[in-house]
Amino acid sequence: MLKRKEFILGATVGLVFAAAATAGGVIDWPGANAAEASGRLIPSAGASGLAFAPPQGAPLSFADIFDQVSPAVVQIDVETPIERPRGGLIPIPGLPGFGFQAPQTPQGEQEEDEDAPTAQGAGSGFFISADGFIVTNNHVVANATKITVKLADGRELPGRLVGRDADTDLAVVKVEGSDFKFVSFEEAAEPRVGDWVIAVGNPFGLGGTATAGIVSARARDIGDGTTPYTDYLQIDAAINRGNSGGPTFDIYGRVIGVNSAIFSPTGGSVGIGFAIPASIAKSVTDRLMSGQAIERGYLGVQIQNLLDEYREPLGLPDDQEGAYIADVTPGAPAEQGGLRAGDIVVALNGRPISSSSDLTRQVGQAAPGDNLRLEILREGRRQTVNIRSGTRPADINATLQGQDEDGDQNQPGRPQAPTGEVVEGMTVAPITEALRSRFSIDEGVRGLVVTAVAESSRAGRAQVPAGAVIQQANGRPVATVTELRAAIASAREAGRESVLLLFRVPQGNRPFVLELSDAK
């Protein structure tokens, strides 16, 4: 499984969150001095070009590069509060469901407890300006009540959180002072798979540690759901707990990434680490340093990849790419602009869309208020929809969480005889007020209600629930049994073996590929 880096030193158990450290490139940051400013670490000779090819004979040793950049890398120690439920379990950070019994707290003393428990954590970071701005991971400093920065020369300074962005897992911390040694991001030159990288950081609290490897892959979507705007660099330099937030350097000492996550079945380094690319890290941290809010474009849709099994019932070619719109948020820009569930977005402002992640990132790059020209496939025809971008809500992840499943939620009261006609093992009927009340179907939902399902049918084996509403069949709205039968007949005539149904359930819209029974 993917382990996001969160480091709890002093605890005997916890999730292993590790990240690699790397740095490189020269840029101008808010608060930084001119190119000749005191403290700037200049890339090695030969780094002026865009190529990442090593100089002749390299890499015989990484010692010179380490000596050059290590003064800019720091250790970040944090204290975070531990929730202490009265008389309940005090959770162990990183192990949901585990903890130890908290003592009963007298009611008069509940708000006067000055010895509330805290967790100790540690990560890495690096200076990006001479006047004390430090880049690290959001998950290293999120919710920290105390931040301490340990420099390579042994000094310890109190740190202040300047800003953070959970969607890219980046944060900026500030320490007071001047003439700090610093490094800069490399944006112009993009690393290639196979290029050497060096990680410098604080694994297991062992500050000033260097590891080396290569770029293993680019544009990785690690699928953790928490960083939707990041295409990661994959590297194989050893990174472990405490490396989070550290820089990844190329062989010229230019920062090409910020280490954030590892893939590990064991909790330790297995040679698969992920770094936030410099091109993303610079733009975000630039805004954080200058006090700007991180605002991103917003459509208001729930999307997923266009799966292979969707293409056949929709009559799409095998190589068709795009993002499938499973649901549209009421009142959001997408609904106001005419986007509908079942649409497939294939291009945005002239740029092809290859996946749901691709659409998320391209929309996120837009400024609120920008015009978004979406090319879509709807009912087999290509159309254009123009939408004015909104502003992505800060609590978007909370609003997208589905409701808890409840086996009795859809069928209150006594069991009733199924209503409707049988189609492919499902008893379906148009929505009536009685059915809307019986199955708790929201106002505004249109389609056919599944009132019963034969267990031996393909729909039954797939556990299609009673109370689900069929809104579309192969991308076309259905409100009557005749329309559903016509969609199935059309699929059979075209030689297709399945239909793509869009169901509405209490948790939201769910696309489902129903394999058709043998025609009789």
Catalytic residue among 70, 129, 244, 357: 244
| Amino acid in position 328 | V
Catalytic residue among 77, 169, 231, 327: 169
Strands 196-201 and 381-388: unpaired
What is the distance between the alpha carbons of residues 126 and 244, in angstroms, rounded to a whole number? Answer: 11
Question: CA 269, CA 265: separation in Å to the nearest integer?
Answer: 9
> DSSP letter at 251?
T
Q: Does residue 443 contact residue 453 with C-beta atoms inside 8 Å?
A: no
Residue 481 tokens read as: 């049994």
Conformation bin of residue 77: beta by default, left when phi > 0, alpha when psi is -120 to 50:
beta
421 burial level (CB within 10 Å; 0-12, 13-18, 19+):
middle
Q: Are 387 and 334 in contact (CB under 8 A)?
A: yes
Question: Residues for the chain: how many in total?
Answer: 520
* Cα 146 to Cα 81: distance, rounded to the nearest angstrom: 10
User: How many whole angstroms separate alpha carbon 137 and alpha carbon 164?
Assistant: 8
Tokens encoding 343: 């649409």
169 included as an active-site residue = yes
CA distance 283 to 230: 12
Does residue 43 contact residue 253 with C-beta atoms inside 8 Å? yes
Cis check: omega of the bond before 59, within 30 degrees of 0? yes
Residue 164 β-bridge partners: 171
Which position has the token pair 């740190």? Answer: 159
Query: Which residue out of 70, 124, 131, 139 is catalytically annotated?
Result: 139
Q: Are 62 and 124 in contact (CB under 8 A)?
A: no
Residue 283 dihedral angles phi and psi, to the nearest 5°: -65, -40
Helices (H), 27-96: 63-69
| H/E segment holding residue 377 | strand 371-378
Query: What whole-number distance in Å separates Cα of residue 133 and Cα of residue 229?
Result: 23
DSSP 265-311: SSSS--S-EEEEEHHHHHHHHHHHHTT-----EE--EEEEE--HHHH
57: which 2 tokens?
Answer: 């004979």
CB 377 within 8 A of CB 322: yes
List active site positions: 139, 169, 244
